[in-house]
Amino acid sequence: MTTFVALDFETADHGRDSACSVGLIRVEDDRLVQRVHYLIRPPRATFRFAHIHGIRWQDVADEPTFGELWVSIQPFLQGAAFLAAHNASFDKGVLYACCDLYGMPRPLQPFVCTVQLARKTWNLHPTKLPDVCEYLGIELEHHQALSDAEACARIVIAANQPQRVC
């Protein structure tokens, strides 16, 4: 199997550029080989989603911005054949908005959506991340970026395993 990176963003508000946390998991040959998590200082101190992920302005006020973290994030993505995320349109939108805000080049890798992968591979409905993880027996601390990213990585790996026919 190829190398890929699973990622998950948490945002502070409705703005796609408001990333306040990112988890990244690098997978090579079906093995999780690297894990990183960053708290991010978003461009605004408005936190509408603290009740979901528990991150508040006080937690990130002294953290680097996405633009400052890009020098660490970009090399992590290099060599990956694709990026994976659950509801990938959201995370792709956050990544691209943050890159645009800070004048950073958008990654060229295509995105694989684990929502679509779960529907196609196992015909699952509903396909919220906790539902897919429960079906596959994957541990999850939902809305914790690193845990969500690891779950996405494990979903991709599971979907690429030969399916048992009963």
pLDDT computed for residue 162 by the predictor? 76
Confidence of residue 127 (pLDDT cuts 50, 70, 90): very high
Residue with tokens 């946390």: 21
pLDDT at 163: 66
Bridge partners, 111 (sequence order):
83
Nearest partner of 31 among 2, 8, 73, judged by Cα: 2
Average pLDDT over residues 25-47: 97
d(CA 155, CA 118): 8
38-69: per-residue pLDDT in tens?
999 999 999 999 999 999 999 999 999 999 99
How far apart, in whole angstroms, are the C-alpha atoms of residue 14 and residue 38?
20
Residues 59 and 154: their CA atoms lie apart, in Å, by 29
Mean pLDDT of the chain: 96
User: In this structure, are residues 33 and 57 in contact, taking their beta carbons and an 8 Å threshold?
Assistant: no
Closest CA to 2 of 112, 106, 105: 112
For the segment 80-117, what is each residue's pLDDT rounded down to a tens digit? 999 999 999 999 999 999 999 999 999 999 999 999 99
pLDDT value at 166 more than 90: no
For the four alpha carbons of 97, 63, 74 and 92, in that order, the dihedral sign comes to: negative
Q: Where are the domains of the chain?
A: 4-159
152: amino acid identity, one letter: C
Please state the CATH superfamily assignment of the domain spanning residues 4-159 in this structure: Ribonuclease H-like superfamily/Ribonuclease H (3.30.420.10)
Tell the burial category of 124 from Cβ atoms under 10 Å away from its Cβ (0-12, 13-18, 19+).
Answer: middle
Q: Are 15 and 44 in contact (CB under 8 A)?
A: yes
CB atoms within 10 A of CB 152: 34
Distance between CA 65 and CA 43 in Å, rounded?
8
